[in-house]
Structure 1
Amino acid sequence: MAIKKKLLIVVHTPSANTQLLAEAAYRGASHPDFDTIEVTLTQPLKTTVEDVLECDAILLGTTENFGYMSGAMKDFFDRIYYPCLEHTEALPYAIFIRAGIDGSGTKQAMEKIITGLRWKPVHETLILQGSYQTSFEGEVEELGLTIAAGLDAGIF
């Protein structure tokens, strides 16, 4: 049996709509064609250092709060930063942001922290801007599918 690669999906879900986005990411990443991928969906406040150290790629999702990432996502980074700093270099990652404004401040803040961690972006940051649209779910599902496909194929 092939060794499973671990995709960690960490999403802050303070609303029913953001929960739908988290489920869409999981659904895409859990596509039945990827039998070598083990997908874990969790909340930022529940994610441990060990979760990050053990994953082979990470997908992060957050809301935009006052032009910044959610407090829960910031807490996640605060807790994992130093314990992971020397152990997760080049970790493949992608981000999606549910933005009421424009998402640029959130993207910039997350990318500054991730640059310090020296993780490797494998997809352009997906910003879901404006009033909620059900099409956002398809976009996030496709992002999850894309990350899982790249991991499954050994691209990253």
Structure 2
Amino acid sequence: MTNQKQLLIVVHAPSPNTEKLRDAVVAGARRPDIDTVEVIVKAPLDTTPDDVLSCDALILATTENLGYMAGLTKDFFDRCYYPCLEHTQGLPFALYIRAGHDGTGTLRAIDSIATGLRWKRAREPLICRGEYQQVFEEQCQELGLYMAAGLDAGVI
């Protein structure tokens, strides 16, 4: 296909509930009526700087661990930050956090790193707070759809 774009989803999903959220994001992004977007899904540990360098947009997902992002999400940033720093400025990205508490520490840390990378937030962060709720899956599916449809339409 011409004009094929790539949406990279980097998701830390260590539990059945976070796997449901991952699957919902992927389902939204892979809607059949979006045909110019290739969706790549990777765990943070499996994601390389080349993956980030070759994508047109990114969705990042992490759990809140002790008021901070998951260690594997931080490892992703540690490995990718400098190789991507001068080459991914303006990269559209979205974020969702599965937070047992409030997610503010996690959001603050990721915002700081994304600001340093000069990535462009394509949508306000989604923070799935507190007890697990079915609505989280609907919100995640909408997030995946929003990002893929935005790439498909050329607006992000």
User: Could you state the TM-score of these two structures normalised by the residue count of structure 2?
Assistant: 0.99
Correspondence 1:97 to 2:97: yes
User: Could you state the TM-score of these two structures normalised by the residue count of structure 1?
Assistant: 0.99
For 1:60 and 1:122, locate their aligned partners in 2 and report how far apart those are by CA, in whole Å.
12
Correspondence 1:13 to 2:13: yes
In the other structure, the counterpart of 1:53 is: 53
| Aligned residues with identical type, % of pairs | 60
For 2:38 and 2:106, locate their aligned partners in 1 and report how far apart those are by CA, in whole Å.
28
For 1:75 and 1:33, locate their aligned partners in 2 and report how far apart those are by CA, in whole Å.
35
Offset of residue 135 of structure 1: 1.4
Offset of residue 146 of structure 1: 0.4
Residue 138 of structure 1 aligns to which amino acid in structure 2? E
**Residues 57-97 of structure 1: CA distance to partner in whole angstroms, max 9, x if unpaired?**
00000000000000000000000000000000000000000
Which SS does the other structure have where 2:89 is aligned? coil
In the other structure, the counterpart of 1:42 is: 42
RMSD: 0.6
Residue 68 of structure 1 aligns to which amino acid in structure 2? Y
Residue 117 of structure 1 aligns to which amino acid in structure 2? L
Offset of residue 18 of structure 1: 0.3
Offset of residue 3 of structure 1: 2.5
Q: Specify every segment of 5 or more residues in structure 2 that has no aligned partner in the other structure, as ranges.
A: none
For 2:23 and 2:83, locate their aligned partners in 1 and report how far apart those are by CA, in whole Å.
28
Which SS does the other structure have where 2:95 is aligned? strand
Which SS does the other structure have where 1:113 is aligned? helix
Q: Specify every segment of 5 or more residues in structure 1 that has no aligned partner in the other structure, as ranges.
A: none
| Number of corresponding residues | 156
For 1:36 and 1:59, locate their aligned partners in 2 and report how far apart those are by CA, in whole Å.
17
In the other structure, the counterpart of 1:106 is: 106
Correspondence 1:28 to 2:28: yes
**Residues 108-130 of structure 1: CA distance to partner in whole angstroms, max 9, x if unpaired?**
00000000000000000000000
